[in-house]
Structure 1
Amino acid sequence: MIMDANTIKDELKKVGISINDIYDLVNTKESYPLAIPVLLDLLQKGIEDVKIKEGIIRALAVKEAIGKASPILIEEYHKIAKDKMMLRWAIGNTIYVTITENDVDSILQIVQDDENGMSRQMFVLALGKVKSEKAEDILIKLLDDEELTPHALEALGRLKSKKAKSKIEILTKHPKSLIKKEAEKALKKIG
């Protein structure tokens, strides 16, 4: 089966959802729980068109996909070439919405691999939404990775990480204003 915009429209129509374009789902305020299994199935069947694939990934960034989408998205992340940075980043952005405690180990592998570059940013932020000592320890280490420092600071602030406090205090004197600002915000949240 060739995966194109019409295939997606036809598959969604079978569950009573009418769209002109996958981005209709991305941009709607309506919930669409019946679309989630269809979108996950289509993603697993393999879509060559990057714009359509990104639309499906972004359409899965809804609470109805929590506990369903992350394992499939993480699998997809590993299949996508490392030079497709924005598509991989979009997966992290969706994981930020769909993360559960069960996803932590898979995400830790992604964020610790430097070769994944800036596509790791939203995965790092997502770790701040889950209570995990392992994740907290990795986030503290990621404070040394300038590509991820602001994201790690935000995640640690959200976790109210007492363990990271002394390292964050040092970052309030960082020469980069973004890092300094995020360190100050994180410290306020930690208290």
Structure 2
Amino acid sequence: MTRSNKKSGAMSATEFMAQLQKDQEYQSKKTAFDAEHQARVSLFRKAEQPIVEDLRGVGLDVKSVWDLVNTADPYPAALPVLFEHLERGGYPDRVLEGLGRALAVKPAQIYWPRLRELYLRATGPDEEQGLAVALAASATPENLNALLDLLNETTRGSSRILFLSTIVRVGGDIGRNAVESLRHDPLFGKEARALLKQRS
């Protein structure tokens, strides 16, 4: 006798999807969600058109700043354009995050002090996160003290957790000791312990 892998009364994924197809309330909510999502995407695409046009002006054929975030190809010509628009501001939070993340490359080190200033002034959570990613990715040993100071910037949120791995990377014994001291910190502790375990 062949034993069934499906428990009695259990529903397969196909059956579940078929049931959702017939669920009018679910379909109505899904349609509304999809429409709202598409409207947000359209809004962001329209808002970032000046950035896209300037990027195309330096030879980059992109439809969105996020195309740069998602590529492994270098784009040195884009960096001044990206930073200019980031510093100019006035874009939706999600677009500002994309600009920050697109600057999360080592050559953006030349903008590090100004990226730090923008991070401290960020008003949206996505913008703050994008700038934290940029600061972490482009930091060098000369930025260690500034990174350590940023950990104490309580006006910033959990994005500061992103600095811990960079502090270990660029800080040598000083960086490791700094992260060690945060093992039991309510915000940084979990990440600090994970990093120290990786390097033990």
TM-score using structure 1 length: 0.70
Partner amino acid for 2:163?
A: F
- Counterpart in the other structure of 1:171: none
- Counterpart in the other structure of 1:162: none
The aligned runs of 1:3-14 (5 Å cut-off) are 4-14=47-57
| Post-superposition offset of 1:63 | 3.4
Note the alpha carbon deviations across 1:6-54, whole angstroms, 9 max, x for none: 2112211221112111111111232211101211122122233212111
Name the % identity: 26
Report how many residues are paired: 155
Larger Rg: 2
| Post-superposition offset of 1:85 | 3.4
| Post-superposition offset of 1:80 | 1.0
Q: Which runs of 5+ in 1 are unaligned?
A: 158-184
Note the alpha carbon deviations across 1:65-117, whole angstroms, 9 max, x for none: 2x224222211111113xx3343233222222211112222221211234423
CA contact (8 A) 1:60 1:69 kept: no
For the residues of structure 1 that align with 2:90 and 2:166, how far apart are their CA atoms? 25
For the residues of structure 2 that align with 1:86 and 1:16, how far apart are their CA atoms? 28
2:68 is aligned with 1:25: yes
For the residues of structure 2 that align with 1:137 and 1:29, how far apart are their CA atoms? 33
The aligned runs of 1:121-160 (5 Å cut-off) are 121-155=161-195, 157=196
For the residues of structure 2 that align with 1:71 and 1:50, how far apart are their CA atoms? 21
- Counterpart in the other structure of 1:173: none
TM-score using structure 2 length: 0.68
2:147 is aligned with 1:102: no
Q: What is the RMSD computed on CA atoms of the aligned residues? A: 2.3
Matched position secondary structure for 2:107: helix
Q: Which runs of 5+ in 2 are unaligned?
A: 1-45
